[in-house]
Amino acid sequence: MRFIRNFEIIIQTPNGIELRITPPITARIQITRNALASANTCSVQIVNLKKSTRAQIYKDRFAISDYWQMVVRAGYGKQLYEIFRGNIYEAWSSKQGTEWTTQIEGMDGMFAIQNAVTSRSYNSGANIKNMITDIITDMPKTIAGIISPSKDQTIGRGAVYMGSSAEILDDLTDNQSFIDNEAVNVLGTNEVIGANDVLLLSASLRKSTPRRRENLLETNVLFTPQVAVGGFAEIRGGEDIYAGQYKILGFSHNITISQAEPGNADTTITLDAGSAALEAIG
């Protein structure tokens, strides 16, 4: 039982209704999360959801002021990890033959990126880390995550910020900020989150030999729900040329959880193959 794929999808509608979807319903889930400025994405296809639940899941993609939170948890047996947290921007259902399919498209942080506006001024000597935290408070449905110690310094002269909070944050952090599972993180190039949580990418877990592209190393592994953006990963065994520890820049999950079909269950992880030593924070 511990190796059987499992999932839970929790949806909070704007009017406060909670919808909880679990097996034996079939779910096909594709998720992309990374440390880039673009929003993380989640695409979920659910087969034969019951009519009463299906009727409540509809979202027009142009209704950007409506916040529908979706949390996706998945793993094996009873061990589930949160693999996505964000806002549904589009959802609909359609019938093909005898089956109803509900399609849900989500984005992590897009609600804040589209709706957040900042109007703040700072005097000379203001702490940049505190300024970053201020901007994050202007961004609805997000919280402050890990902020690099390098930002714990002061500005030399006063500053005024007015406009898109996301754009101001990019400017204030030199494009080192990213939103992951609705938490805003700021990491330097060689900084990683967590000193003790190293994801071991053993030869038995990897489905193919890692591929090197410039300063990126990409590896395809069995579905690994515990992988985290900005964390440590260690390649061990197999091709010794790639053995070592790397920063996780991003990953994608492609999984099918069903009692009726085997489907995919893999994770593709993108690592920073740069030669600089990594420094753990957070």
Highest mean pLDDT among 152-161, 197-206, 237-246: 152-161
Between 161-165, 230-234, 261-265, 269-273, the lowest mean confidence (pLDDT) is in: 261-265
Same fold, 113-186 and 191-281: no
Tell me if 139 sits within 8 A of 184, measured CB to CB.
yes
Domains of the chain: which residue ranges? Answer: 5-108, 113-186, 191-281
pLDDT band at 195 (very low <50, low <70, confident <90, very high): low
Whether CATH 3.55.50 fits 113-186 = yes
Between 53-57, 78-82, 84-88, 197-201, the lowest mean confidence (pLDDT) is in: 197-201
Residue 81 has pLDDT above 70, yes or no: yes
Q: For 37-53, what is each residue's pLDDT tens digit?
A: 678 999 999 999 999 99
pLDDT band at 2 (very low <50, low <70, confident <90, very high): low
pTM (2 d.p.): 0.93
Q: Which CATH architecture has domain 191-281?
A: Beta Barrel (2.40)
Residue 186 has pLDDT above 90, yes or no: yes
pLDDT band at 275 (very low <50, low <70, confident <90, very high): low
Residue 271 has pLDDT above 90, yes or no: yes
In this prediction, residues 196-212 reach a mean pLDDT of: 88
Task: Report the share of the chain in percent with pLDDT over 90.
Answer: 78
Residue 188 has pLDDT above 60, yes or no: yes
Q: Would you state the pLDDT for residue 1?
A: 47
